Amino acid sequence: MVLSGCAGMAGRDAGPAIDAAISGSHRPDANRARDVYRHPKETLQFFGLRPDASVVEVWPGGGWYTQILAPLLRERGKYYAAHFHVDEKSPRYMGPAREAFVKSLAARPDLYDRVVVTSLEAPRQVDIAPRGSADLVLTFRNVHNWSAAKTDEAMFRAFFNALKPGGMLGVVEHRANEGTSLEQMIKTGYMTEAYVIALAEKAGFKFAARSDINANAKDTKDHPRGVWTLPPTFRLGDQDRQKYAAIGESDRMTLKFVKPARQ
């Protein structure tokens, strides 16, 4: 349910194309099983995705959303996968993760041959797409990582610079209770909506709308290992696994911002 703001780019007409990408046989069963928590169709429609759009996905990880976005945008749009920037300063996991992602693209040239892989680690590397070219920048469950690294403000500036005037930023993130301290947010992986909105507005964005598409009222947000206690991570292993499986994936904010047409 949209609670406030404007509609942004009309994403309704993209419904059949999104359906086709989601139902494609290339998606593994393990990824399909997470649709019930991630609501990809509703989320992408809320963000105003069009098949002819230029879209940047920030830190796509293993490519869960890539498997939907890349085929959908292949013929008429453009898909930039702004993956980890890897150099001597990067955490060790980033190199193998990026390599595995690139390898997965190469395995299906019929779907992913037109994906443009770029690098992002603001403020050191911010060339995620030609400046002022993107219609839509998307980030899924990443903000807590940047806040922990103290790069969140620089990251949002990079998104702003990549977008056209009037372009949209879509953010999905684990949602903390309002009033949670920054220290606790970083520790648990849950961020407050107010903090994320402030980051975006500081970068120059205007808040457009919020949705409860990815809300989960079962998530009490007080788990011993933060958000990583829940699926799909199950940081506690088999301890209370059934309990956390019953909760499902985290309660998430879904926020949309616009880059003003006039600056």
Residue 9 forms part of a structural domain:
yes
Question: Total domain count for the chain?
Answer: 1
Residue 195 forms part of a structural domain:
yes
Residue 105 forms part of a structural domain:
yes
Q: Which two tokens stand for residue 176?
A: 């903390």
Indicate yes or no: pTM above 0.85: yes
Per-residue pLDDT of the chain (263 residues; tens, 9 = 90+): 333 333 344 444 789 999 999 999 999 999 999 999 999 999 999 999 999 999 999 999 999 999 999 999 999 999 999 999 998 888 899 999 999 999 999 999 999 999 999 999 999 999 999 999 999 999 999 999 999 999 999 999 999 999 999 999 999 999 999 999 999 999 999 999 999 999 999 999 999 999 999 999 999 999 999 999 999 999 999 999 999 999 999 999 999 999 999 76
| Domain CATH for 252 | 3.40.50.150
Residue 55 forms part of a structural domain:
yes
Residue 206: Cβ within 10 Å count: 12
DSSP result, 149-204: HT-HHHHHHHHHHHEEEEEEEEEEEEBPPTT--HHHHHHHS-B-HHHHHHHHHHHT
Q: Which two tokens stand for residue 137?
A: 């920048």
Residue 263 forms part of a structural domain:
no
Tell me the pairing of strands 78-84 and 116-120.
parallel
Residue 65 forms part of a structural domain:
yes
**In which domain, by residue range, is 73 found?**
2-258
Residue 72 forms part of a structural domain:
yes
Residue 131 forms part of a structural domain:
yes
